Amino acid sequence: MFSKACEYGIKASIFIAINSYNDNRVSPKEISAEINSPQAFTAKILQALVKHNIVNSVKGAYGGFEINKEDIAKIKLSQIVTAIDGDQLLHGCGLGFKVCDEEHPCSLHDQFVFIRNDLRNMLENTTLELLAKDIKSGVSFLKL
């Protein structure tokens, strides 16, 4: 479903959000330790999230990654997924056709559109705030 990079990106964003609520910047080292991901690869993914203005980075001593507190409730999972995996999953054809719509549907189109739309709605209605809260309250977890 999601690429490894995207899985890491989602987990990292949640961890950064949690820390940002406490005005605490985190490093790739802390992030990868927390979400159980390769450090250097995680750093690359963070760069992408910074480029897409999802995460903010501060260089130099006492720097690290953070998310504006006011933004945490606004950032949708769909933004993270699109930033890392592109928009094929949210908008593309299930059988990989370049063009596939009601007018010219692939064999799976009628069955697939509902799934894709539900997935997109879920990702567009799930904010970092929502995910971070469940972690903080101990309802869900970020690593084994």
Question: Smallest distance, Å, CB 32 to its own copies?
Answer: 15
Question: Smallest distance, Å, CB 43 to DNA?
Answer: 6
Residues 6+ apart with CB under 8 A from 46: 12, 28, 31, 55, 57, 65
Interface residues with DNA (CB under 7 A)? Answer: 3-5, 8, 25-29, 37-41, 43-44, 46-47, 50-51, 57-65
Indicate the residue among 48 and 108 with the shorter CB distance to its own copies.
108
The rounded distance, in Å, linking the Cα atoms of 122 and 6 is 16
The rounded distance, in Å, linking the Cα atoms of 110 and 101 is 9
Decide which of DNA, its own copies, none touches 112; Cβ closer than 5 to 8 Å per partner kind: its own copies
The rounded distance, in Å, linking the Cα atoms of 49 and 27 is 14
The residue behind tokens 């990292």 is 12
Q: Binding residue for its own copies (CB under 8 A) from 1, 22, 23, 137?
A: 1
Indicate the residue among 33 and 135 with the shorter CB distance to its own copies.
135
Q: According to the binding rule CB under 8 A, does residue 11 interact with its own copies? A: yes
